[in-house]
Amino acid sequence: MRTAVYEDAPAIARLHDEVWRATYRSLATAAAWEGLTEAVRAERWRETLADPGRWTTLVAERDGAIVGFGSAGAPSEAMFEGRGEIRWLHVDPQVQGGGLGRMLMAALASELADRGYGGCALAVVVGNERAMGFYRRLGGREIGGFTDPGPLWRSENVVFAWDQLPALQKAAAG
């Protein structure tokens, strides 16, 4: 695992697109499906990685290929109530279930602790039951929801929170 660099944008975009399409096939709108392409994601990832002050993105590699990533940073929603935010946690479907998501969560929680946050929160699109189960197993509790207006898709989201980063780190390690 390492901190992503600008040159990782195409590989992160490729994995982001692959996981997003596998996860949201029955949830996303046709406009989102057509408009959120790998090329669009690559441009957004270049922008994100060009400004590491906002988000720290970590990547997990196996045999030289990025197989997972996630970002941590300042909260983007008021309902996160000052907790740091974990965003874009994605793991290659071929390696899901092997503990990589837990390792990324622990590392992202450490990143938020280093930034001075005591807790964290994240949003999950309603209907993404696999992700919701994962976060519940790590001790996340639902604190509400919001509508993400998105550029192409208004998605309903559930917010999970952890009030103590050490508790999340312990759950992710176990």
Q: What is the mean pLDDT of the chain?
A: 92
Q: Which domain holds residue 148?
A: 2-173
Q: Which amino acid is at 125?
A: V
Banded model confidence at residue 38, pLDDT cuts 50, 70, 90: confident
- Alpha carbon distance 33, 28 (integer Å): 6
pLDDT tens-digit series, residues 59-102: 999 999 999 999 999 998 888 999 999 999 999 988 888 899 99
CATH assignment of the domain containing 111? 3.40.630.30
Percent of the chain at pLDDT above 70? 100
pLDDT tens-digit series, residues 101-131: 999 999 999 999 999 999 999 999 999 999 9
**Total number of domains in the chain:** 1
Phi, psi (deg, nearest 5) at residue 89: -85, 110
Report the half-sphere exposure of 12 (CA within 13 A, side-chain side): 27
- According to DSSP, the β-strands at 2-3 and 84-91 are unpaired
Report the half-sphere exposure of 86 (CA within 13 A, side-chain side): 30
pLDDT tens-digit series, residues 131-140: 999 999 999 9
